[in-house]
Amino acid sequence: MAKLWGGRFEKETDSLVNDFNSSIMFDKRLYRQDIEGSIAHVKMLAKQGIIKAGERDAIKDGLEEILKEIENGSIEITREYEDIHSLVESRLIEKIGDAGKKLHTGRSRNDQVALDMRLYTREIIKKTRALVKDLLETLIKLEEENLDTFMPGFTHLQKAQPVTLAHHLGAYFEMFKRDEGRLYDLYKRMNYCPLGAGALAGTTYPLDREYTAGLLGFYGPTLNSMDSVSDRDYLIEYLSAASIIMMHLSRFCEELIIFNTNEYRFVEIDDTYSTGSSIMPQKKNPDIAELIRGKCGRVYGALDSLLVTMKALPLAYNKDMQEDKEISFDAMDTVTDCLRLFNGMLLKIKFNRDNMEKSAMNGFTNATDAADYLVGKGVPFRDAHGIIGKLVLYCIENDKAIDDLDISEFKNISEYFEEDIYEAVSLKTCVEKRLTTGGPSRAAMEKAIEANRKYLDALKEE
Ligand code: ARG
């Protein structure tokens, strides 16, 4: 296969070098962006009088045919081609002859690949963001359905204070809301067009970079040609946002795996999202949740890998940067698949409300409220803490919950206890008295849900 750059070479490239250097087996997924960018480029070249209108039309028609050929599989993509850019250009020349040789006027593969990768990443940002929004819709729906589903809240994975399932899910809503915001911020920062930066120093042709940027849906052109060809920050930012999404998903998966165990039975993951064992007939394993948790590692790996690849690279383009693709594509596929699967799993999960409530009833989740009760009777908090500590010890020794004690047992520990202690330490009171903004009570949750509904509605209007 003739090289785009063969002119100054006297010898053929070594075949191992050919394979090592070639990126087509992974950058072939940029074919659509490559063709879209080339069409915008030739439109601009013709507008600027750099090529003729007839040449523009021939190139555009040729490129559109190549797009179809790639999509219907009639072009065989092999390692013979160096990259997707070479394939498209050489196929164009085969098809339309000399006019095709004008496609690359005023352009380098350096600004071309920078454009293709940016266009591709821009689509992936939109797709990831849409999937995060779907998950947010699921979460808010489940919150609304579970405002009165009591469950224990944990610290150190030990029962701490009672909350509701709505409140627990609401914590994840906030995490994914920040993820959505990160993707949007990144989109706004990266949506500038590098086409026209040339190899590194722009070009002497009178290109209209504003025009191509507009055709391709960018806010405008990038402002420094050296930066334009050597910037991969937007990819690093995407991988960083993707890593944080994966971290959130993995925390959520870990909790579902724990809550799905025989010991907890807070949730039951649906059959459609579980698998069995080849030897143990009774098993129903939460493999999908485990896999999502596990796939976190490869997305973190991609972020790390690209940061290391870019470290200490001198300006401007260096071939090291070809290494951005495989890892980024893998991470993009992984995070979008995980979001889709996780949302599906969550929509079908069964919440065992009774088990959650029973669990919240024992384990002394109301001990803080019992101490607060004594504070209400005039006992300083630190003393109240000590008294309730003794009360808990008594309950453990006698295998009772705080609510199970009779009034004389309460009074033996402190004379400040009255009949109203039962009401004060009931599960419902413990939750409903937590009225602070961001707290678990129905009233506080309704306010948070209302604010988050407005936020989701504003997203829909975008
Ligand atoms: N395959 C290359 C990449 O992904 C395209 C750019 C090639 N540019 C060059 N000067 N060799 O980075």
Give the pLDDT of residue 222: 98
Q: Are residues 346 and 296 in the same domain?
A: yes
User: What percent of the chain has a predicted confidence (pLDDT) above 70?
Assistant: 100
Probe ligand 1: pick from 319, 321, 323, 324, max atoms within 8 Å of CB? Answer: 319
Q: Are residues 334 and 406 in the same domain?
A: no
CATH code: domain of residue 22: 1.10.275.10
- pLDDT tens for 313-335 read 999 999 999 999 999 999 999 99
Q: Which pTM value belongs to this model?
A: 0.95
Kindly give the distance from the C-alpha atom of residue 182 to the centroid of ligand 1, in angstroms, as a whole number: 29
Q: Are residues 98 and 138 in the same domain?
A: no
Probe ligand 1: pick from 13, 22, 23, max atoms within 8 Å of CB? Answer: 23
Q: Are residues 89 and 238 in the same domain?
A: no
Examine the fold and report which residue of 302, 318, 353 is the final residue of a domain before the chain moves on.
353
Examine the fold and report which residue of 353, 388, 405 is the final residue of a domain before the chain moves on.
353
Structural domain total, the chain? 3
Return the ligand 1 atom nearest residue 85 CA. 5
Is residue 1 situated within a structural domain?
no
Is residue 260 situated within a structural domain?
yes
In angstroms, the CA 219 to CA 227 distance is: 17
Q: Are residues 330 and 431 in the same domain?
A: no
Give the pLDDT of residue 4: 80
Is residue 153 situated within a structural domain?
no
Q: How far is CA 72 from CA 65, 69, 76, 87, 118, in A?
A: 11, 5, 10, 16, 25
Residue that has been written with the tokens 């790996």 in this structure:
301
CA-nearest residue for atom 12, ligand 1, is 322
Q: Name the pLDDT band for 304 (thresholds 50, 70, 90).
A: very high
CATH code: domain of residue 422: 1.10.40.30
Tell me whether residue 277 is one of the annotated catalytic residues. Answer: yes
In angstroms, the CA 262 to CA 409 distance is: 34
Residue that has been written with the tokens 């039309």 in this structure:
57
Give the pLDDT of residue 283: 86
Give the pLDDT of residue 99: 97
- pLDDT tens for 246-271 read 999 999 999 999 999 999 999 999 99
CB 427 within 8 A of CB 162: yes
- pLDDT tens for 104-133 read 999 999 999 999 999 999 999 999 999 999
Has residue 1 got a pLDDT over 90?
Answer: no
Domain encompassing residue 283: 110-145+163-353
Q: Are residues 391 and 270 in the same domain?
A: no
Q: Are residues 309 and 344 in the same domain?
A: yes
Ligand 1 is surrounded, with C-beta below 6 A, by 23, 27, 83, 109-110, 113, 317, 319, 321-322
Kindly give the distance from the C-alpha atom of residue 434 to the centroid of ligand 1, in angstroms, as a whole number: 59
Q: Give the residue among 226, 231, 228 at the shortest CA–CA distance from 316.
A: 226
Q: Is 351 helix (H, G, I), strand (E, B) or coil?
A: strand
Q: Name the pLDDT band for 428 (thresholds 50, 70, 90).
A: very high
Tell me whether residue 168 is one of the annotated catalytic residues. Answer: no
Kindly give the distance from the C-alpha atom of residue 150 to the centroid of ligand 1, in angstroms, as a whole number: 57
Across all residues in the chain, what is the average pLDDT?
96
In angstroms, the CA 181 to CA 175 distance is: 10
Is residue 155 situated within a structural domain?
no
CA-nearest residue for atom 7, ligand 1, is 109
Mean pLDDT, to the nearest integer, of 150-158?
97
CB 303 within 8 A of CB 1: no
Has residue 287 got a pLDDT over 80?
Answer: yes
Q: Are residues 342 and 291 in the same domain?
A: yes
Would you tell me the crossing angle of helices 53-71 and 31-47 to the nearest 10 degrees?
A: 170
Q: Are residues 39 and 98 in the same domain?
A: yes
Q: Give the residue among 402, 375, 378 at the shortest CA–CA distance from 390.
A: 402
Is residue 8 situated within a structural domain?
no
Q: Are residues 295 and 427 in the same domain?
A: no
Give the pLDDT of residue 8: 86
Candidates 15, 156, 278, 408; catalytic one: 156
Q: Are residues 197 and 301 in the same domain?
A: yes
Give the pLDDT of residue 455: 98
Kindly give the distance from the C-alpha atom of residue 113 to the centroid of ligand 1, in angstroms, as a whole number: 7
Q: Are residues 423 and 377 in the same domain?
A: yes
Is residue 3 situated within a structural domain?
no
Q: Give the residue among 191, 201, 184, 188 at the shortest CA–CA distance from 221.
A: 191
> For residue 162, what is the DSSP state?
E
CATH code: domain of residue 169: 1.20.200.10
Give the pLDDT of residue 198: 98
CA-nearest residue for atom 11, ligand 1, is 319
Give the pLDDT of residue 5: 83
Report the Cα 253 to chain-centroid distance in Å: 14
Kindly give the distance from the C-alpha atom of residue 163 to the centroid of ligand 1, in angstroms, as a whole number: 54
Give the pLDDT of residue 7: 85
